[in-house]
Amino acid sequence: MSSIPTQRLGTTGPIVSRIGLGCMGLSGGATPDNLTDEIIARGIEAFRAALAAGITLYDHADIYGRTACEMVFKHCLNAVDGVRERIVIATKCGIRGGYYDLSTDYILKSLEGSLSRLGIDYVDVYQMHRPDPLAHPRDTAKALKRLLDEGLVKHIAVSNYFPEQLRALETYLDSRCIISNQISLSLARLEPFYEGELPWLGSGILDYCMSKEITPLAYSPVGKGWLTGQKPIPDDHPNKVALENTVTELRKIATDKRATPGQIALAWLLAHPAGIIPLVGSNNPEHIADGARAATITLTREEWYALWRAARGKGVM
């Protein structure tokens, strides 16, 4: 197994690799109705590649592949003896067909389904996928406390939460109970650096996470593939020029460090003091290994800000 630097999730969570595997693509686009032995075999191959690269954090959601990704992961766990206790499994709940649901009853029901599909007795990190405007945070917290007390969930977390939404949920939970917040974050999406839910709320979600020692998990860390330099940026993209300039800068730094633009984009996130953990979303063993190597790359302050300026499309003054 390769060595990747590690860190703790939050202040009380498990220690995990600084690169995680986003498992949304583990079923290769298949749903439970069309899963095949070949698709499952590819998922197992990707899992083995992630293990070999030193990745210990595996991020799921009940809606990924319409539950198929969790089902594939059960086969992955069965394929490697003793692996369950060596990794951290995270999953999410709350998105249903056309609406959100973080009611007490639905959270409990969703966790039961995920445990069955994954073939495990507990989830290491249970995440609320998106805030539900119709769920009082008191009721969401009630379900989470029950799952913690019963040992079915070891730690709780959220996804796509703004500062005020986090504060509301924290009001009904023990201090420092929420260990992570998964957000869309990359050089192609800088909003978490400076925006809250509303412009006048002040500090952005990254600042809030640092103030509470909540670990940010970054999904889409290479901007839907655009930051790898391998995927064309659409002509109608509103930030096309800034993205093109960012890719140019990524290529320049990558050449100097004998790396790839995608690896530099991940290293840029890793350099932030919030302790961001990028989630590499792929079922391609080669892409997984390449992503994991980003954890060994160090950027200078000058390199980091060169990318920041390119992505913002303006200087720092």
Structure tokens given for 93: 């709940």
Task: Give the integer Cα–Cα distance in Å for 209 and 203.
Answer: 10
Task: Give the integer Cα–Cα distance in Å for 129 and 315.
Answer: 35
The reply to whether 161 belongs to the active site is: no
Give which of 160, 109, 103 is closest to 135, Cα–Cα. 103
Q: Given the residues 64, 100, 161, 219, select the one marked as catalytic.
A: 64
| Conformational region of residue 67, where left means phi above 0, alpha means psi within -120 to 50, and beta covers everything else | left
Q: Is 301 helix (H, G, I), strand (E, B) or coil?
A: helix
Residue 81 and residue 48 in contact, taking contact as beta carbons nearer than 8 Å = no
Interacting residues of 112 by C-beta distance below 8 A, sequence separation 6+: none
Structure tokens given for 115: 């445990």
Residue 261 and residue 229 in contact, taking contact as beta carbons nearer than 8 Å = yes
Task: Give the integer Cα–Cα distance in Å for 85 and 303.
Answer: 38
The residues annotated as belonging to the active site are: 64
